[in-house]
A and B are shown apart, each in its own frame.
Chain A
Amino acid sequence: MQAPLKKTPLHETHLRLGARMIEFGGWLMPVQYSSILEEHRAVRQAAGIFDLFHMGEIEVRGAGALELVQKLTTNDASRLADGQAQYSLLCYEDGGVVDDVLVYRLQDSFLFVVNAANIEKDYQWMSQHVTPSCELENVSDRTGLIALQGPLAGSTLQPLTDTDLSTLLYYHCRWATVGGVRTLISRTGYTGEDGFELFCTAEHVERLWNTLLSVANPPKTCGLGARDTLRLEAAMPLYGHELDATVNPFEARLGWVVKLDKPRFVGKEALARAKQIGPRRQLVGLEILDRTIARSGFPVLKDGDRVGHVSSGTFSPTLERSIALGYVPSELAQVGCELSVAVRERVVKARVVPIPFYKRRK
């Protein structure tokens, strides 16, 4: 039997705002309020906010916390200063990806932010490696997360908080007060824009949300639809699409997150071998040279033969073109390579293009 879908503390708020709700990772989440295209453009041009309560948070505490984090993740958490964040991966012994995560180093703990659909799996997997000198806690249910993203995110948030955001650097975080709510402000995001991810306790989520919308020029409320088109333009992976247990980080072009000079971590031997051999297949950006969308799972063809698959595809609202990410054999992964995609009963032309598809001007 399937468990009932979970609702975020903002569920009623979303309905009042006219959101259309969908199932995502066991949660009932807003997919759009007005229009995915409008919400997407608001984030590229101004600012938008997203309820990300579904994302998971797992805390690691204790004297052995750093040691455990180092063992669990492929990136090097020893390089993190207090108040710094790092993109990282959890990998199985065979090098396949358990999840992609953000690791925050806080004053006396590490905080993992994990994908909604993977919370239980990650927690179980992490628990297998826990030592007596540290403890693991799944704090997802009592931790709220709201993203404020876009070029105007800073000027929107600054008047609402007591901390100077100009000194909060990319991939850094700090505790502050936002509209009276104690908030961990992190300069991170999943949109390719400047912006913040704001953590607070579950009971304060609604107050924080309303505070962010109370300003003179409020950010646009955005759903998972725009979150997906934004991350796809920025070519950021989504677990279950670009990443899963059958993909190794080198195939996903995430070799930069794998620090093989670290003494020991789960999957290190397999990943060292994988790096030495080189990836057999690779994630590429595709531009679809026809008026249709190449969606997840569609076959990628070369001269009529199936050689790979589309992992994610959409209409890019910024480029006004059909774009996709997909896996193809490494010898077909160079920019300019001419491929095609089977879209239902048709075969359409596609070309390998550089990723990200969109990069903001700094």
Chain B
Amino acid sequence: MAEVPKDLKYSKEHEWVRVAGDAVVIGITDHAQEQLGDVVYVDLPSVGSEISQFESFGTVESVKAASDLYAPVSGKVVEVNDALKEHPELVNESPYDKAWMIKVKLKDKKELDVLLSPADYDELVASIS
């Protein structure tokens, strides 16, 4: 069973969001990494770039497939996890911790309202697996 931490919010596209004041940290879920299999490349935006809710902000690529990353919120990228460039396997090993992807300064806090609760995301995963 894929792990779904209780202190996070989720998108239907299998990203997680950790809210910290007016910024959020974004990564992909345990379910997402399981489906992808061995991640070999992670392509992320650079610090300072703007991302828009529901639009692609990067790519994660496994041996089997390439998958777009969709922004769960809009805002300015203030930090990027550069470790994923050299160690993409962290996405498989530690999706909620070491493989955080970007930190974003929120443009509009209300955007968080459309994200899924852990219970809702759990249900979504159960319904597709």
Contacts and interface: CB of A to CB of B under 8 A. Distances in A.
A158 interface: no
A37 B40 CA distance: 10
Chain A contact-residue range equals: 10 to 19
A142 B63 CA distance: 33
B66 A315 contact: no
B121 interface: no
B43 A225 contact: no
Contacts of B64: 31, 36, 225
Nearest to A320: B40
Given A291-B43, A292-B43, A225 B37 contact: yes
Contacts of B89: 37
Given A225-B64, A315-B63, A35 B37 contact: yes
Interface in B46-103: 59, 61, 63-64, 66, 85, 89, 92
A295 interface: yes
Interface string B18-30: 0000000000000
Interface residues of B, number: 13
Interface string A212-229: 000000000000010001
Contacts of B66: 292-293, 295, 344
A302 B122 CA distance: 47
A315 B41 contact: yes
A32 B34 CA distance: 12
Contacts of A293: 40-41, 61, 63, 66
B41 A36 contact: no
Given A229-B63, A292-B66, A293-B66, A36 B43 contact: no
B31 to A, nearest CB: 13
Interface centre among B40, B61, B63 (most CB of A within 10 A): B63
Nearest to B40: A315
Interface string A262-303: 000000000000000000000000000001110100000000
A225 B38 CA distance: 11
Contacts of B40: 37, 293, 315
Contacts of A20: 37
Contacts of B59: 292, 344
B61 A292 contact: yes
B63 A292 contact: no
Contacts of B92: 35
Nearest to A226: B63
Contact of A35 (B38, B41, B61, B85): B38
Contacts of B43: 291-292
B52 to A, nearest CB: 16
Contact of A37 (B38, B41, B61, B85): B38
A54 B123 CA distance: 36
Given A20-B37, A35-B38, A322-B41, 14 more contacts: A35-B92, A36-B37, A37-B40, A225-B37, A225-B64, A291-B41, A291-B85, A292-B41, A292-B66, A293-B41, A295-B66, A314-B63, A315-B40, A315-B61
Interface of B: 37-38, 40-41, 43, 59, 61, 63-64, 66, 85, 89, 92
Interface of A: 20, 31-32, 35-37, 225, 229, 291-293, 295, 314-315, 317, 322, 344
Task: Please list the 7 inter-chain residue pairs (A to B) with the smallest Cβ-Cβ separation, ordered nearest first.
Answer: A315-B40, A37-B38, A291-B41, A36-B63, A35-B38, A36-B38, A315-B63
